[in-house]
Amino acid sequence: MSKSPVRTQAKGAGGVSEGRDSAMGEQAASRPKKATNRPVAAQSGSAGTKAPKVPKTGKAAKAAKTVQAKGAVKATKAAEASKGADGARANRVARAAKPESHLAMVRRARRINRELAELYPYAHPELDFRNPFELLVATVLSAQTTDLRVNQTTPAVFAAYPTPEDMAAAVPEELEEIVRPTGFFRAKAKSLIGLSAAIRDNFGGEVPGRLSDLVTLPGVGRKTANVVLGNAFGVPGITVDTHFGRLVRRWKWTEQEDPEKVEAEIGAIFPKSEWTMLSHRVIFHGRRICHARKPACGACPIAPLCPAYGEGETDLEKARKLLKYEMGGQPGQRLNPPADYPGKPAPGPGGS
């Protein structure tokens, strides 16, 4: 696992790093001394103490030069040690100033993916579901709300409407009332009834397992379709949600804002077999460490690979307080998480 990142160095005007011992003003020029015929002895230690004369030739001169050289090496090492994290940060800034080739970016991106795989070996979709229909419904409900809120809402939804046929026949006002906690409940209820009717009428009551079919359903776009395909049918797909798009731009994997263009560019970086788990890992990292407003840079294991290191809190102890879910000792988002999830289950309906 990568080492914790170092502290950032203070920057002066124009982004130029300043050392802690930088001169902040001009020194007044010394008044010229009167010429004298007597030689001036070099001083060392207290004022007025004459330094011993160094022989110019012979063995004594050679020995003196050796002592001076060793002293210079010790002084250099002491100075370097005193710089500590600031010196390392300066090296990082110097490397970052060089433009990164596409090949170098791809190698860095794949290394980040490997690091995330070690950090989150238990990464998974954070929506509770038991079959493709439940995952489809939960994903539609997850728009503009948290997975936790969806997971606290869907038990009542599936108790009332366990199949597409049941939901297609739902009274809109009754379904709206059940999904109200997820927000935008009227639009979501309309989409759920519409997609359920389409599944019943066009696909024999079974959720289709092809992207081209899924996106024909009301309220279903590429993101929702990829979630369902990747996690209910085992078909690789990249899920470009808010967290995924934010992180891949922060990591300079792409500059695209359009989700479909992001999906295409990231898909070209990684093998297709990695797409689904890559999505889970990136989203996990965005929810736990690499937050939108205040990322926990100081506690991030992939900070040495991140070109945006320093945008968030770099102090280790302060950064640790920003960690969420199992990373911060808090419950997760699923009421029924996978067996290998190391955190606590989320509180049920009515919980906070």
What is the rounded distance in angstroms from the CA atom of residue 38 to the CA atom of residue 49?
Answer: 16
Reading the block at residue 307, the tokens are: 């070109």
Active site residue 258: no
HSE, CB side, 13 Å, CA atoms: give it for residue 310: 15
Strand partners, 298: none
Query: Which one from 147, 201, 223, 294 is the annotated catalytic residue?
Result: 223
Burial 106-144 (b: 16+ CB within 10 A, else e): eebbeebbebbeebbebbbbbbbbeebbbbbbbbbbbbe
Query: Which one from 33, 241, 272, 315 is the annotated catalytic residue?
Result: 241
- 234 in Cβ contact with 224 (< 8 Å): no
HSE, CB side, 13 Å, CA atoms: give it for residue 58: 4
What is the rounded distance in angstroms from the CA atom of residue 154 to the CA atom of residue 182?
Answer: 10
CA 164 from chain center: how many Å? 37
Active site residue 241: yes
Residues annotated as catalytic (active site), given as ranges: 223, 241
